[in-house]
């Protein structure tokens, strides 16, 4: 638990890894090793694993999330999965706007914004990703990039709906690269995120939105980042695929 009394949140993003039997085994290893009860654990698994893992999670405190969803709840969208379908099988979170979806599948702030609104309306909590590229950081435009993304991604999201929303700050250059952000840089970007949220929704609502950091988190670097007041937890990719390492991250909260 944080000083503010807010629950910490650790999200595991398994990306495109683990077929259902492997997913069940990893889930069970994680579930049986959890010792921290002051942290919400959300496992975001591939679509084919959702039913298996959601069933296993039903008797635990672990929440299950998808890694994407569509911006409509039904229709002629071959190959897509809707927020309503996810909700129907016991999924309660969804990662939206991840940099890998933007890079490989052409997702934009506009399409992600539609998904964010429908996900909330369909009973899911979106984990909304923002983050600058390396070029943007080097050019010194990180702050502008983040505040514009927040405005575009949350366009049309109402103040009460912020209760069902998590922001994940994931610098694109840090995701999967082994390069983690510096403490002082993260402190600064968190302030930019809170200020952007405050300008849209007011200080109180803005302060209640959980902000996670994601980008090459491991059990060595995470404790320091977690000590930052504005950081409510982490979005963990690669390190969430190894139960022992993921548990070290969760259990240090």
Tokens of 205: 């609502």
In angstroms, the CA 64 to CA 155 distance is: 26
Provide DSSP, 125-168. EEEEEE---HHHHHHT-HHHHHHHHHHHHTTT--GGGGGG-EEE
On whether the CB atoms of residues 96 and 112 are closer than 8 A, the answer is yes
In order of 6, 104, 129, 214, the CA distances from 176 in angstroms are 28, 14, 15, 10
Detail the DSSP E strand segments found in 3-61. 8-13, 39-44
Is position 226 an interface residue for ligand PEP (rule: CB under 6 A)?
no
**Which positions from 7 to 26 touch ligand PEP by CB under 6 A, shown as an x/- string?**
------x-x-----------
Is position 107 an interface residue for ligand PEP (rule: CB under 6 A)?
no
- By DSSP bridging, strand 39-44 and strand 233-236 are unpaired
**Which positions from 135 to 174 touch ligand PEP by CB under 6 A, shown as an x/- string?**
-----------------------------------x----
Q: Which is nearer to ligand PEP, 161 or 251 (CB)?
A: 251
The residue of the chain with the least Cβ separation from ligand PEP equals 237
Q: Which stretch binds ligand PEP (CB under 6 A): 54-62, 107-115, 146-154, 232-240?
A: 232-240
In angstroms, the CA 127 to CA 66 distance is: 10
On whether the CB atoms of residues 207 and 194 are closer than 8 A, the answer is yes
Q: Which stretch binds ligand PEP (CB under 6 A): 76-84, 85-93, 152-160, 209-217?
A: 209-217
Q: Of the listed 70, 98, 132, 136, which one is catalytic?
A: 98
Nearest approach in angstroms of CB 111 to ligand PEP is 18
For residue 14, what is the DSSP state? -
Is position 216 an interface residue for ligand PEP (rule: CB under 6 A)?
yes
Report residue 252: phi and psi, to 5°: -90, 0
Is position 215 an interface residue for ligand PEP (rule: CB under 6 A)?
yes
Among 190, 217, 243, 249, binds ligand PEP (CB under 6 A): 217
Q: Which is nearer to ligand PEP, 97 or 201 (CB)?
A: 97
Tokens of 249: 């991250």
Is position 238 an interface residue for ligand PEP (rule: CB under 6 A)?
yes
- Whether 188 is a known active-site residue: answer no
Nearest approach in angstroms of CB 172 to ligand PEP is 10
- Whether 170 is a known active-site residue: answer yes
Q: Which stretch binds ligand PEP (CB under 6 A): 75-83, 117-125, 189-197, 215-223?
A: 215-223
Q: Among 192, 167, 190, which residue's Cα sits nearest to residue 96?
A: 167
201, containing H or E segment: helix 183-201
Among 9, 154, 175, 225, binds ligand PEP (CB under 6 A): 175
The catalytic site residues sit at 98, 170
List contacts with ligand PEP (CB under 6 A): 13, 15, 170, 175-176, 214-217, 235-239
């Amino acid at each position: 638990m944080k000083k503010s009394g807010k629950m910490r949140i650790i999200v595991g993003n398994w990306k495109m890894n683990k077929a259902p039997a492997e997913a069940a085994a990893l889930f069970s290893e994680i579930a049986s090793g959890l010792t921290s009860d002051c942290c919400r654990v959300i496992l975001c698994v591939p679509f084919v694993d959702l039913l298996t893992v959601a069933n296993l999670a039903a008797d635990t405190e672990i929440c299950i999330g998808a890694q994407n969803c569509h911006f409509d709840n039904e229709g002629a969208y071959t190959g897509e999965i809707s927020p309503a379908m996810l909700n129907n099988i016991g999924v309660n979170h969804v990662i939206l706007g991840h940099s890998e979806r933007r890079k490989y599948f052409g997702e934009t702030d506009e399409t992600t914004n539609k998904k964010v609104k429908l996900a909330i309306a369909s009973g899911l909590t979106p984990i909304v990703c923002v983050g600058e590229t390396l070029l943007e950081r080097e050019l010194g435009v990180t702050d502008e990039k983040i505040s514009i993304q927040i405005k575009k991604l949350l366009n049309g999201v109402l103040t009460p709906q912020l209760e069902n929303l998590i922001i994940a700050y994931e610098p694109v250059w840090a995701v999967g690269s082994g390069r983690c952000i510096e403490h002082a840089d993260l402190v600064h970007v968190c302030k930019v995120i809170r200020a952007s949220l405050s300008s849209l929704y007011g200080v109180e609502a803005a302060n209640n939105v959980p902000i996670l950091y994601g980008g090459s988190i491991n059990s060595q670097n995470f404790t320091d980042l977690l000590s930052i007041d504005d950081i409510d937890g982490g979005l963990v990719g690669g390190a969430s695929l190894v139960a022992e390492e993921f548990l070290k991250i969760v259990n240090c909260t």
